[in-house]
């Protein structure tokens, strides 16, 4: 009986030892919540934003003026200030590799009708520790038949998980 118990404990310990490295490895992923900084080409003005990327590839983001919001100062139509952008991401499963992001947002008129559709695409590289990314983006805004193109740089910092104080 003692021998069986000893063997069972040894096997359990060996399994825990063999499995541990797989959990200890850090792999870069966009899954989580991120604070964004976007800079349109030709400017130095930084636009702040937030994004949440799910582990199954979903994405929701907001960043005034680039991802969402009014079409521009030339617009004479009263539009919504901030609608979130929805989309997906893929790639990026190993540290230092890239990911592709695609988001779509709607700009609506004050009465709720569609004013414009904005499609945002980015290619980013995630840092080895998975806490930062940087890359470039392009954005296409379609207002009726008019297409407005833009581009710039994007960076993100992972918002760390909150650890509640121990009691």
Rounded CA separation 55/90 (Å): 10
Q: Which percentage of the chain shows pLDDT scores above 70?
A: 69
Reported pTM: 0.73
Architecture of the CATH domain 28-158: Beta Barrel (2.40)
CA–CA distances in Å: residue 79 to residues 35, 98, 112, 113, 140: 25, 35, 9, 10, 17
Q: What is the mean pLDDT of residues 100-115?
A: 87
Convert the pLDDT of each residue in 74-96 to its tens digit. Answer: 444 555 556 789 999 987 655 55
Ranges of each domain in the chain: 28-158
């Amino acid at each position: 009986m003692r021998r069986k118990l000893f063997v069972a404990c040894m096997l359990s310990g060996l399994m825990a030892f063999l499995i541990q490295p797989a959990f200890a490895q850090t792999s870069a992923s966009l899954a989580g919540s991120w604070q964004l900084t976007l800079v349109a080409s030709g400017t130095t003005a930084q636009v702040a934003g937030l994004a949440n990327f799910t582990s199954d590839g979903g994405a929701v983001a907001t960043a005034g003026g680039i991802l969402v919001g009014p079409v521009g100062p030339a617009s004479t139509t009263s539009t919504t200030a901030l609608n979130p952008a929805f989309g997906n991401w893929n790639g990026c499963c190993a540290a230092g590799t890239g990911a592709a992001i695609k988001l779509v947002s709607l700009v609506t008129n004050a009465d709720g009708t569609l004013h414009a559709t904005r499609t945002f695409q980015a290619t980013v590289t995630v840092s080895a520790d998975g806490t930062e990314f940087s890359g470039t983006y392009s954005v296409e805004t379609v207002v009726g038949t008019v297409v407005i193109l833009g581009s710039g740089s994007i960076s993100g910092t992972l918002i760390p998980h909150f650890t509640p104080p121990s009691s």
